Structure formats: structure tokens, C-alpha cells
Amino acid sequence: MINKKVVKLINDSRNIAILSHIMPDGDNIGSCLALYNSLIKMDKNPLVILDDDVPEIYKFLKNSDKIVKPEKEYEFDLVIVLDCGDAERLGKSVKYLKNGNVINIDHHINNTRFGHINLIDETAAATAEIVYKLIKEFDIQLDIDICQCIYTGIVTDTGQFQYSNTSFITHEITADLIRNGVEPFKLYKVIYQNNSKEKIKLISKALSTLRFDYEDKIASMIITKESFDTIGAKDEDVDGIINFARDIKGVEVALLFREIDNGKIKIGFRSKDYVNVNEVAEKFGGGGHKRAAGAIIDGDLDNIRNKIIETVIDVLRR
Amino acid sequence: MINKKVVKLINDSRNIAILSHIMPDGDNIGSCLALYNSLIKMDKNPLVILDDDVPEIYKFLKNSDKIVKPEKEYEFDLVIVLDCGDAERLGKSVKYLKNGNVINIDHHINNTRFGHINLIDETAAATAEIVYKLIKEFDIQLDIDICQCIYTGIVTDTGQFQYSNTSFITHEITADLIRNGVEPFKLYKVIYQNNSKEKIKLISKALSTLRFDYEDKIASMIITKESFDTIGAKDEDVDGIINFARDIKGVEVALLFREIDNGKIKIGFRSKDYVNVNEVAEKFGGGGHKRAAGAIIDGDLDNIRNKIIETVIDVLRR
């Protein structure tokens, strides 16, 4: 599926920008650096520009320290945007789009096709999968550094080969990455065995508030602003905590109520099998997907918890 | 690597026993049922005999309800033992070994080769991998039921494609299972999103006891008999709790002190990168592996916690 035009355009260019979305994740960093390291091997002059800092856990990836902020002006022959559903998500880096031909490479289903060439494969589990296929078209050998970048993109965007985007192609590519030297347990250690102390304390605190409703089909937890501040937690420490509630036997809907400011509550919604939590979140001005959604509401924590739980019970009763 | 003799022996037999170790896990149940379902397709008369009950989460696997206890006497032409390092781990089912030719199929490095034919591949991530290769030699098509059994064995014995046993072959086989209809996210849901309420309460309780020592390189937790009993937890609910301590950034050694009886403490040891916890556990009459070990000591919970932590500090100081 890799467009020959894309390969030719890259081969014919020398100064190449690589851009991606704000708040970088494993697929974003992994894809950018896999491409960067490949272009270096091809004697090109690539530059990865990202608005935000590289998260600590991805700094082991080769040349992560070469990534720059969107501060200076550059001359580019070609701009490649990776893993970015629309141009707005580029943040300040959006300004480089005018610098040359734009190749937009992504796997998000709602990609707005903002590039001059758009290489969109919604069946790919990660943008790193598409980048892998692209690199295979180049006249270079895969090496362990490139493969570790691709592996990082795949393992993080599939939730460890778990989400419904995981296909046989995902596993075939992963097999090839291991054949080229990737040692999965070493990468798992770096990526997944690196929780902050604050995160663990926040998990402990949240679990202590676990409440079950409607024959244990609903499990909810709260995080008060006070406990968040006392622990000294960061926003990213909240990631994944709601899954502890969802992953309990018999639970269909999990809810996490987080007081982000006095009188301002952020609600996370997850469902396991059949409840459309996007619908519930929309009732409260939020949204998301069928099995994962969110909303922010003004009000008192306990009142909101009760109100949302009542609404979910109504949906479960249908 | 599949022995032609094994394939011929199976093809020439009709009444076939399938045995495995006590305290069944995903690889044990998955391997047994993958083989069972294949032999049924080949018009054989197989029987899976296991000492213990099938864990709830594996009951979705086809024909898990046909598994019997080692109660009656049977006539067998052939006995196949799966995933069992030595004959003693068969429990009461060991008695069926005398009923016929024994094929011993396993991936444990220390397998005692107790069969008449031993098909041991220590490089296989799971016995299910070897069973997959065996089934490919049979004159039947893989179907989704067989593939789900093999997938279950692989995903559980590799810790979700994480452990160092995970090879490119593991991923190639998994790709083929998905090609044959396995939907990973559905199996993850059954296997990993099914925690007991008691387990979550136990995690919450254990995390609340988290203590850091020696520049946060040691993280330890306790579970008292009182809290275990109050929660109404089961032994299996303790599985994996120690990983919360290990998976914290900067932690090298994680310890879990569980009071299994008054004055009887079970200690779990885990290390991340370099400490040989097997050595530490051996000092206290226990043992295990370099990165995961255990011991049981008589004494007072707090005293033992302090003593063990001191010993670990000595090791870290070296």
C-alpha cells in the first residue's frame, strides 16, 4: 500500500521536517524517531520538531535528544507529518506546513487529509506500522535502533497487543522487529515498570474510595483535589486508574470523578461490553467513544457522583 | 522440530489421555484443550484429566466442561502429558502414566524427560506453541476454537508478550491465530478484565502499606492475616500484587510480606535489573529465580520486615 510517489519524494529530498501532534505518546515519538533514524542512514538531513518535551520513558530511543522545539525558522524540501489526525493538533509546529510539500501519514479514522499527499491506513494499529512499511521501501537495512522505535509505537498504541486494532499484520511486523534484535522484555521494563511513586499513591487513594452500585455493575472512584495535591501527583499519574474499576468481574460501567478545581469535576467513563458511555457523557456536555468517554461538570463532588450514577443506572435498566 | 514418530503415534491411537500439572494455568488449560479439540476433529477419543478445577476465567474455552478429575480407571492407547516439568507435578493423575506409551511435551528447561518420547523445546514461550506446531502436522484445519486455546496459552505464559521467552516465533504463531479468527481484545477482556472485588480491595490495602527504603531502591508492602480475612480474599487474589511495588521508577527490589498464619510470614521477592533475589531468599530457607523468589519464615511481621530489608540493603551496598 505504500505509495511509490511518497518514496520517490523522500528519496529526492534532503532537508526533511518530521512533525507530530502535541502531548506526545509512544506511537508519536516512536514513529518520528524510526523515520528520523532511517533518514540519517540514507544521508538525509531530517529534523524532528515537537511542541512538547519527550516523556521520560521514551528518552532511551535513539536520537530522542535531537528532537527540537518549534522555535526557529528552517528551510525544508519536504514536511512529513506523523500520527496527527488534523493540522490543529500540531500546536505551534503547524507553521512549518507552509515550508514544502506535506506528506500526511496516519492511522486515525477521522484524519482530515490536510497533506498534499495523504497516506492514511485506518486498519494500521499504529502509525509506526505504516512507517515500518515505508522504511522497508527505502534502500537501507532495518537496525535495532529503528526497530525499537517501531516496537515502542506498536506496543503502546495497541495496549500491549490488546486493543481491537491489533491485527495479524501487527504481529507479523513485531516478529520481524524481534528478528532484527528487539528484546521485548527490556522495552517493557523501560516503558511499563517505570511508574512514579505518586501514581502508585494515587492508585491506592482512588481504590480506597471504590463504590459499587446497581448489583455491582457500576464501580466508581473519586480523586479529590486535596488528595491529588497532598500526594503531589501530576495529570499523567491519573492515566489508567479508571481501568482498575472497569477490570473487575461483573462491572459494566466504571466511573472516575476527579476534582480538578474546587467545584469543577472531570469524569471518566469506561464500559466493558455493551453500554454506550459516549451517549451518557454527551448528556453532560462531554463525549468520546462507545467504551471510553469523558466530561467536565461544575458542581459538588458527591452530588455529581450520585447524579451520574443514577443516569448510568437508567441506561442499564433499559 | 515436531517428531514424525509423535505424529504417527497419535494418528495410530484412538483412546488418548491428556494430562497436565496441578494448579492449572492458562498454558496448561489452553494446551490441553487445543490438543483435545484437534483430536476430536480427527475422530479420536481423547480425555483431558486434571486434578484441580478449571479456573473460572478459562471456562470460555471450548470443551473445558469435558475435563474430568482423576477418579475412574480408563483404557488408553496413548498418554500425552503437557506443560509438566516432572511426573510428580501431575498429582493424582500420575497413575495414568502406566496406561500406555507416554509422550511428554513441554517447554520447561528442567524437564526430567519422564516420557517414552520427550518433545521438549525450551525455546518455546509456551507449551501451546509446541502444541500449535504439532497440530499443524495433523490432517485437520485450524479453527477458531483451537486457536483461542493456543492464544490463551501464549498470552498468559508470556505475560502479554512481555517475558524474555517471547520470540519472533511467538508473534508469527499469534499472527496465524488471528488470521484464523482470534480477536485479541475479546480474549483480553475475559482473561484480564475479570478481577475479583476482593483482589482489588487487597491491592488497595497492600498499597496503603507501601514503604520505601534505601533511597527508594527497596519498596515493600504487607498483608496481614486480619485484613486478608476481613476482605474475604483467596490465595489467588495475592497474585501479581508485588508487581505494583516492583514497577515503580527507581525500585530495584520489591518485597511483599504476607502473614499466612499468626507468626508465619510468606515473603515474595522481586528484582528489576541486577539483584539476585534467589540468593537472598535462600538465606531464609526459600528460593526461586534471580528476579523472582519466595520464602516462608516464622516470626513477627514487623521484625521480619525489618530483618529482610536490612539483608537486602546489605546486598545493594555490595
Shared domain for A188 and A215, answered yes or no, is: no
Shared domain for B230 and B296, answered yes or no, is: yes
Shared domain for B172 and B218, answered yes or no, is: no
Domain final residue pick, B192, B208, B242: B192
B78-88 tens-digit pLDDT: 999 999 999 99
Contact B2, B128 (CB under 8 A): no
Nearest CA in chain A to B187: A162
From chain A, the residues in CB contact with B245 under 8 A are 200
From chain B, the residues in CB contact with A207 under 8 A are 200-201, 203-204, 207
Shared domain for B147 and B242, answered yes or no, is: no
Question: Residue B87: which CATH number?
Answer: 3.90.1640.10
Sheet holding A253-261, edge to edge: A211-213, A218-223, A253-261, A264-271, A292-298, A287-288
Shared domain for B41 and B69, answered yes or no, is: yes
CB contact under 8 A, B172 and A172: yes
Q: Which domain holds residue A298?
A: 197-317
pTM of the entire predicted model = 0.92
CA distance B152 to chain A (A): 13
Shared domain for B110 and B230, answered yes or no, is: no
Nearest CA in chain B to A209: B204
Q: Residue range A6-30: average pLDDT?
A: 96
Nearest to A246 by CA among A283, A274, A272, A208: A272
Q: Residue range B4-30: average pLDDT?
A: 96
What does the alpha-carbon distance between residue A119 and residue A111 come to, in Å, rounded to a whole number?
10
* C-alpha of B302 from chain center: 31
Q: Residue range B24-42: average pLDDT?
A: 97
Could you tell me the CA-to-CA distances from A204 to A198, A284, B244 in Å, in that order?
10, 28, 10
A132-171 tens-digit pLDDT: 999 999 999 999 999 999 999 999 999 999 999 999 999 9
CB contact under 8 A, B162 and A160: yes
Query: Average model confidence (pLDDT) for chain B?
Result: 95
What does the alpha-carbon distance between residue A278 and residue A294 come to, in Å, rounded to a whole number?
8
- Residue A110: the pLDDT is 87
Is the pLDDT at A1 greater than 80? The verdict is: no
Shared domain for A151 and A29, answered yes or no, is: yes
For residue A290, give the amino acid letter.
K
CB contact under 8 A, A184 and B161: yes
Give A270's strand partners.
A254, A292
Shared domain for B106 and B79, answered yes or no, is: yes
Question: Residue A279: which CATH number?
Answer: 3.10.310.30
CB contact under 8 A, A162 and B168: no
The three three-digit cell numbers of residue A182, written as one number:
528487539
What does the alpha-carbon distance between residue A314 and residue B32 come to, in Å, rounded to a whole number?
44
Shared domain for A207 and A262, answered yes or no, is: yes
B150-165 tens-digit pLDDT: 999 999 999 999 999 9
Is the pLDDT at A184 greater than 80? The verdict is: yes
Nearest to B272 among A178, A189, A245 (CB): A189
pLDDT range class, residue B110, cuts 50, 70, 90: confident
Is the pLDDT at B1 greater than 70? The verdict is: no
Q: Is the ipTM of this complex over 0.85?
A: yes
The 3-state secondary structure of chain A reads CCCHHHHHHHHHCCEEEEEECCCCCHHHHHHHHHHHHHHHHCCCEEEEECCCCCCHHHCCCCCHHHCECCCCCCCCCEEEEECCCCHHHHHHHHHHHHHCEEEEEECCCCCCCCCCEEEECCCCCCHHHHHHHHHHHCCCCCCHHHHHHHHHHHHHHCCCCCCCCCCHHHHHHHHHHHHCCCCHHHHHHHHHCCECHHHHHHHHHHHCCCEEECCCCEEEEEECHHHHHHHCCCHHHHCCHHHHHHCECCCCEEEEEEEEECCEEEEEEEECCCCCHHHHHHHCCCEECCCEEEEEEECCHHHHHHHHHHHHHHHHHC
From chain B, the residues in CB contact with A216 under 8 A are 197
From chain B, the residues in CB contact with A200 under 8 A are 207, 210, 244-245, 248
Shared domain for A265 and A141, answered yes or no, is: no
Nearest CA in chain A to B193: A247
From chain B, the residues in CB contact with A169 under 8 A are 175
CB contact under 8 A, B163 and A171: no
Mutation for B interface: A160, A199, A221, most B CBs within 10 A: A160
Count CB neighbours of B46 within 10 A: 24
For residue B260, give the amino acid letter.
I
Domain final residue pick, A192, A219, A254: A192
Is the pLDDT at A216 greater than 90? The verdict is: yes
Shared domain for B30 and B160, answered yes or no, is: yes
Is the pLDDT at B230 greater than 70? The verdict is: yes
B243-294 tens-digit pLDDT: 999 999 999 999 999 999 989 999 999 999 999 999 999 999 998 888 899 9
Number of independent structural domains in chain A: 2
Q: Residue range B40-53: average pLDDT?
A: 98
A185-201 tens-digit pLDDT: 999 999 999 999 999 99
CB contact under 8 A, B175 and A172: yes
The three three-digit cell numbers of residue B229, written as one number:
480475612
Is the pLDDT at A275 greater than 90? The verdict is: yes
The three three-digit cell numbers of residue A280, written as one number:
451518557
User: Percentage of residues in chain A with pLDDT exceeding 90?
Assistant: 93
Nearest to A207 among B171, B203, B272 (CB): B203
Contact A312, A217 (CB under 8 A): no
CB contact under 8 A, A248 and B178: no
Shared domain for A176 and A212, answered yes or no, is: no
Across the A:B interface, residue pairs with CB atoms under 8 Å apart total: 126
B54-94 tens-digit pLDDT: 998 999 999 999 999 999 999 999 999 999 999 999 999 99
Domain final residue pick, B130, B161, B192: B192
